[in-house]
Chain A
């Protein structure tokens, strides 16, 4: 009985993990599709004065 319960728990956990992973990948692809990477790049290639406590 315990083995069956543990097996179910493992199965539920695996399903949740795979779902979150796929959801994350979908979000990432959608973000790339709507050009969020350009905002990230633009922020990252300039010295962000407020980030480093200046300005």
Chain B
């Protein structure tokens, strides 16, 4: 009897709350070394051999894993290698298993943006063409610049981390600057560029749902391209669908699941599944 009531409670918890719980747990696992914030150091253990599936700066004091985009640039720009098979393979494997569900469930920076979007303000939709910016960023800043622009030793710089990624400043720079006064002497022009990106991202995330994911995130671009092949996916039963349009109206990623269940923008958040009055949409692992 008791078990039955527990089951009922579990079923009564809405999908969005379950997703939020998974996001918080993923955030906690990815950033489990909270104590490092006060000590002003970063975790240096063996888990940093591995990449986190979501965007999370490895210079954040609490970070437990390497950032996949940072790691990709580090290997691509290193003296010995021009392409990281390890990180590319990791992204392909994770991407084909989960697609952009990683963005919706396991990305710490995605959670931060969703929380920022809770701040009361007029909510707007982005023009459709802006979603293509992230592909340009992936090709230019993540894949090309670290390999092509190198110093005399043949080492390239992590151009995406250096000029675009606001996670590094929010999760790494600001906590470390507060505990290491000597680091303040190293503040230069790059800091201003990054600060501008942080301001744009925070302001954008308050007004637009997941602004950084939609416009700038190269990891979202990779996983988005793999949505078409992913095992965890959204499907529609066209015999049940009555084309009421509720799913498209509730989608904060501006996707119409009736037109395309495998959209590169779909983060598999499940809002459309919950909104469908005919239960025509299904989210999960399937053929």
Partners in one complex: yes
The answer to whether B92 and A23 touch across the interface, beta carbons within 8 angstroms, is yes
Give the tally of cross-chain contacts (CB within 8 A). Answer: 154
B102 at the interface (CB under 8 A from A): no
Known interface pairs A27-B89, A36-B87; A48-B231 also in contact (CB < 8 Å) = no
The answer to whether B168 and A24 touch across the interface, beta carbons within 8 angstroms, is no
Interface size class of A (residues with CB under 8 A): 35 or more
User: In the complex, A17 Cα to B94 Cα: how many Å?
Assistant: 11
List residues of chain B with CB within 8 A of the CB of A1: none
Known interface pairs A20-B226, A52-B59; A28-B85 also in contact (CB < 8 Å) = yes
List residues of chain B with CB within 8 A of the CB of A14: 287
Choose from A20, A43, A44, A50 the contact partner of B92 (Cβ within 8 Å).
A20
User: In the complex, A54 Cα to B174 Cα: how many Å?
Assistant: 10
User: In the complex, A10 Cα to B76 Cα: how many Å?
Assistant: 36
B103 at the interface (CB under 8 A from A): no
Closest chain B residue, CB of each to CB of A42: B74
List residues of chain B with CB within 8 A of the CB of A53: 162, 168-169, 173, 190-191, 193-195
The answer to whether B42 and A55 touch across the interface, beta carbons within 8 angstroms, is no
Interface of B, helix, strand, loop or mixed by DSSP? helix
Choose from A20, A21, A36, A49 the contact partner of B75 (Cβ within 8 Å).
A36
The answer to whether B58 and A44 touch across the interface, beta carbons within 8 angstroms, is yes
B84 at the interface (CB under 8 A from A): yes
Chain B 198-226, CB-CB to A under 8 Å as 1, else 0, gives 00000000000000000000000000001
The answer to whether B81 and A39 touch across the interface, beta carbons within 8 angstroms, is yes
B172 at the interface (CB under 8 A from A): yes
The answer to whether A45 and B85 touch across the interface, beta carbons within 8 angstroms, is no
The answer to whether A52 and B48 touch across the interface, beta carbons within 8 angstroms, is no
Distance in angstroms from A3 CB to nearest chain B CB is 12
B132 at the interface (CB under 8 A from A): no
List residues of chain B with CB within 8 A of the CB of A8: none
The answer to whether B161 and A43 touch across the interface, beta carbons within 8 angstroms, is no
The answer to whether B86 and A47 touch across the interface, beta carbons within 8 angstroms, is no
The answer to whether B59 and A32 touch across the interface, beta carbons within 8 angstroms, is no
Closest chain B residue, CB of each to CB of A21: B96
Distance in angstroms from B277 CB to nearest chain A CB is 24
* Interfacial residues of chain B within 161-191, with CB under 8 A of chain A in the complex: 161-162, 165, 168-169, 172-173, 176-177, 183, 186-188, 190-191
User: In the complex, A2 Cα to B187 Cα: how many Å?
Assistant: 63
Choose from A28, A39, A41, A51 the contact partner of B89 (Cβ within 8 Å).
A28
A40 at the interface (CB under 8 A from B): yes
Closest chain B residue, CB of each to CB of A53: B194
Which 3 residue pairs are nearest across A and B when measured between Cβ atoms? A31-B86, A27-B89, A24-B92
Residues of B near any A CB (own CB < 8 A) = 42-44, 46, 48-49, 51, 57-59, 63, 65-67, 70-71, 74-75, 78, 80-81, 84-97, 157-158, 161-162, 165, 168-169, 172-173, 176-177, 183, 186-188, 190-191, 193-195, 226, 229-231, 287
